[in-house]
Amino acid sequence: MKFFIDTANLDEIKKAYRIGILSGVTTNPSLVAKEGVKFEDRIAEILQAVPKVESVSAEVTPHAVTAEEMIAEANELIKINGGDKNITIKVPMTLDGLETTRYLADKGVKVNVTLIFTVNQALLAARAGATYVSPFLGRLDDISEDGVQLVTKIAELFRVHNLDTQIIAASVRHPDHVTRVAMAGADIATVPYKIIEQIAKHPLTDQGIEKFAADWVEPKK
Ligand code: E4P
């Protein structure tokens, strides 16, 4: 399973990229709004900051509701930085979002269909040509449904039908989600920076480092 970072914060993106674990970035209107910056400018900065990843998701704005409106926004987004090949257009899972997906996929543009909450939605998005589908596990857990189970089922369905759309486990809230979606067959988990820090750490690692430091004696020359 690969890691994407789920943020529009440039410092966090740069830190995760330096660690060498990053395969992509996902943003959404809420994450961009939190940064208080111009959307297109931030996407341009992110694309520049992470040249070796496979995908940077830029979501159409909430003003774009019809396929025509989404396509118009996507056509501007794909021009950023002279047409960076890593840009991925993120569209909501609606009929207009699917129409946009098919249009962009036929043009060779990567699409991430977001706000997936059922297996059928994932199947439709894959058939519309999505490069990625994003099931939101945390938000399903919030309403007492099993988000990881959804990822398991989508992974099985894509395997049985030989669909090459990649599953991005999204709305990941804690380290156990990461382990469980990796075991469930997610291709990617998109996670906040805080989770990267959490899964890198273990108290016994810290204790071990302290003990090695305490035991260390400089060799005599
Ligand atoms: C993914 O693409 C979304 O940006 C994100 O994972 C949503 O997470 P949330 O449910 O914690 O807002």
Q: Quick: pLDDT tens for 11-62.
A: 999 999 999 999 999 999 999 999 999 999 999 999 999 999 999 999 999 9
Predicted pLDDT at 220: 85
| ipTM of predicted assembly, 2 dp | 0.96
Q: Is the CB of 25 under 6 A from ligand 1?
A: no
d(CA 174, CA 181): 11
Q: Which atom of ligand 1 is nearest to the CA of 173?
A: 11
Calculate how far, in angstroms, residue 136's C-alpha sits from the geometric centre of ligand 1. Answer: 7
Q: What is the pLDDT of residue 98?
A: 98
Structural tokens at position 196: 């990267």
Is-catalytic flag, 194? Answer: no
Helix residue ranges per DSSP H, the chain: 10-19, 29-35, 39-49, 67-77, 95-106, 119-127, 137-142, 147-160, 175-184, 193-200, 203-215
Question: Nearest CA to 58 among 122, 166, 150, 132?
Answer: 132
Distance 11 CA to ligand 1 centre (A): 19
Residue in 48, 46, 49, 51 with CA at minimum distance from that of residue 59 = 46
User: Over 90: is that where the pLDDT of 221 sits?
Assistant: no
The domain ranges of the chain are 2-215
Specify the residue for token string 């071990």. Answer: 208
Tell me which of 3.30.470.10, 3.20.20.70, 2.60.40.420, 3.40.190.290 is the CATH number of domain 2-215: 3.20.20.70
Q: Is the CB of 139 under 6 A from ligand 1?
A: yes
Q: Distance from the CA of 93 to the center of ligand 1, in angstroms?
A: 14
